[in-house]
Amino acid sequence: MPPAYKEAANFNVAQPSDAAAKGKWWEVYGDPQLNSLEEQVTVSNETLKAAQAQFLEARAAVRVARAAYYPTVSGAASAARTGQSQNKPLFGATSPVTYNDFQLPVDVAYEPDVWGRVRRTVEAARSEAQASAADLASVDLSLHAELALDYFELRGLDSQKHLLDSTVVSYEKALELTQSRYHGGIASAVDVAQAQTQLETTRAEDEDVDVQRTAFEHAIAVLVGKAPAEFGQQPTPLTAPPPPLPAGLPSELLQRRPDIAAAERRVQEANAEIGVARAAYFPQFPLTGAGGFDSARLGILLQGPSGFWALAGSAAELIFDGGARRGITEEARAAYELSVDNYRQTTLTAFQEVEDNLAALRVLENEARTQDAAVAASGHSLDLSNSRYRGGVANYLEVTTAQSAALADERAAVDILTRRMTASVLLIKALGGGWNVSQIPAM
């Protein structure tokens, strides 16, 4: 395990680290709308409900496995009246022609767990239930992260929409100015056509943002358990950068990622299955017992002379099975090796995801500063081009070029801010959110 993240050295977190993700990790963004939507995911998401049902199923399987620790007791009551054939040999010599038989037996069966088969079965079921609990936490984390991603993508599109709306208004005013200059004989028809083209192109881009925004709005509706027709989200442009997020140490990641915990529990489960397979090599010692009451008359059924009992024990060993037990054991060992490899790969993938998003946040922060400078420069260039055009020094092509550059830089700045927000969500997800391995139930 690496002692530290490679990207952590280039990723300085503000002090104190109050933004460390806790249980409701999305609250670090300080966004009431996001908090409200995340709470709805916890209550209403159908995928999360399915994962909860799967965990309950696995937990019930533990109870089923533990039942083998104890004997099984069964009881039944019966009443019969029998009439014998008169042609029966020794008819009437040993029993009456017709008779009643009332029985109230209790049967007991028990097999001691001499070789640990039951213990290992319970261990395997418990490990699977704990893995299922970690799977539930992983699904919960993924769904909340997916909502946050869609939410910030939606807000990024709101910023794009706000920018394009204001740009369309500016271009409309520019077109009016150009038309006035044209009617006054100062500008040419080419200038008017260029201004019209610039305006209509931007309007088309503005409309296209609505298509993308609608798709994210529908995705959020499904995540919170609502039909898209019943859900709406007010436009809220992005303004603030993501909060600082402490990455911690790689060793802590093994305790914070539910998918790593699930993979670890499945290693335990596979190891226990080897013990179950090996127990088949040894003999079994079933014990049985029976007792109760049997009488020809119902009135004396529960009296002492009507009682009976029996105890029995046996030993059974499979002598030849054509290599079936060996094959089952080898299969269990191979499954164990597979689970170990999956655990290691899950851990490596977790390290990669953390490093990727630490790097993304670091690079995007630097890129944002550079892009802000580009926005300022392109805005200044547009102002100069407009002044030159009004003064008759430049043609309108210079203005449209400056307008396109300024709009592209501003949209790029919005895109970078959106990517920074989504990278911060992905980092929180990669770090396990507010989850900790201590939350796995003991079973």
Please say which residue of 265, 295, 316 terminates a domain.
316
Q: How high is the pLDDT of residue 246?
A: 78
Distance CA 143, CA 148 (A): 9
Q: Is residue 178 domain-shared with residue 207, that is, in the same domain? A: yes
- Mean pLDDT in residue range 362-368: 95
pLDDT in tens, 155-203: 999 999 999 999 999 999 999 989 998 998 888 899 999 999 999 999 9
Q: Is residue 107 domain-shared with residue 120, that is, in the same domain? A: no
Q: Is residue 213 domain-shared with residue 181, that is, in the same domain? A: yes
Q: Is residue 431 domain-shared with residue 304, that is, in the same domain? A: no
Structural domains counted in the chain: 2
Q: Is residue 257 domain-shared with residue 379, that is, in the same domain? A: yes
- Give the burial string for 158-188 (b: 16+ CB within 10 Å, else e): bbbbbbbeebbebbeebbebbeebbeeeebe
| Within a domain: 91 | no
| Within a domain: 1 | no
Residue 226 pLDDT greater than 80, yes or no:
yes
Q: Is residue 312 domain-shared with residue 409, that is, in the same domain? A: no
Whether 161 and 213 have beta carbons less than 8 Å apart is answered as yes
Q: How high is the pLDDT of residue 22?
A: 57
User: Could you tell me the residue range of the domain that residue 294 belongs to?
Assistant: 76-84+97-112+287-316
Please tell me whether the peptide bond between 258 and the residue prior to it is cis, using omega within 30 degrees of 0.
no
Q: How high is the pLDDT of residue 140?
A: 95
Q: Is residue 140 domain-shared with residue 53, that is, in the same domain? A: yes
Q: How high is the pLDDT of residue 17?
A: 41
| Residue ranges of E strands in 209-344 | 287-295, 307-313
Q: Is residue 103 domain-shared with residue 148, that is, in the same domain? A: no
Q: What is the DSSP letter of 237?
A: -
Q: Is residue 359 domain-shared with residue 247, that is, in the same domain? A: yes
Q: Is residue 103 domain-shared with residue 14, that is, in the same domain? A: no
Q: Is residue 142 domain-shared with residue 197, that is, in the same domain? A: yes
| Within a domain: 90 | no
| Within a domain: 89 | no
- Mean pLDDT in residue range 301-320: 90
pLDDT in tens, 40-97: 999 999 999 999 999 999 999 999 999 999 999 999 999 998 877 777 666 555 666 6
Residue 385's domain is classified under what CATH number?
Answer: 1.20.1600.10
Q: Which of these ranges, 249-263, 278-292, 330-344, has the smallest mean pLDDT?
A: 249-263
- Mean pLDDT in residue range 104-131: 95
Q: Is residue 292 domain-shared with residue 434, that is, in the same domain? A: no
Residue 12 pLDDT greater than 80, yes or no:
no
Please say which residue of 297, 316, 335 terminates a domain.
316
Token pair 């190891």 in the structure block, residue: 271
| Within a domain: 92 | no
